[in-house]
Amino acid sequence: MRAFLTCLCLAAAFALAAPSTALAGNAETYEGTLPADLDGDLLIEVAPEADEDGALFAYGTLTAGGKDYAVEIPGAVLASAGLPAEGGAVKATLGEMTEEFGFPMYRITALSKR
């Protein structure tokens, strides 16, 4: 029973560290080359939280050019932008793309408030 509870706790921790599947419903693939600078609106859907390695990340949607991109934002990048907790109008640099969570997600490597 103890082993089962340990596995259950580990599964819950990983689930909490992953972005919401709500992000996947509107995730689109960027058609240009990376890195790419985009002007748009950032909606932060998951406030900064620590992943399994202790690094802080926030998750959300960047809407630019009529398309929605699922994004992860390192805590230090988000803090340096000085945005409200829910996001706002930004200039963002999309760095690498991953499909680790089953849909395209871009790491924002630079962010500034517009």
Q: Encoding tokens for residue 72? A: 């992860």
- How far, in Å, CA of 111 to CA of 98, rounded? 19
Strand boundaries in 1-114, DSSP class E: 36-50, 56-64, 67-74, 87-98, 105-113
Closest Cα partner for 45 from 24, 29, 64?
24
- Higher-pLDDT residue of 22 and 87 is 87
The stretch 66-89 carries a mean pLDDT of 95
Which pLDDT belongs to residue 19? 54
Length of the chain equals 114
Which pLDDT belongs to residue 101? 81
pLDDT digits over 19-62, tens only?
554 555 568 899 899 999 999 999 999 999 998 889 999 999 99
Q: How many CB atoms lie within 10 A of CB 47?
A: 14
Q: Which domains does the chain have, with CATH numbers?
A: 2-113 (2.40.50.140)
Which pLDDT belongs to residue 100? 84
CB 42 within 8 A of CB 60: yes
Which pLDDT belongs to residue 18? 52
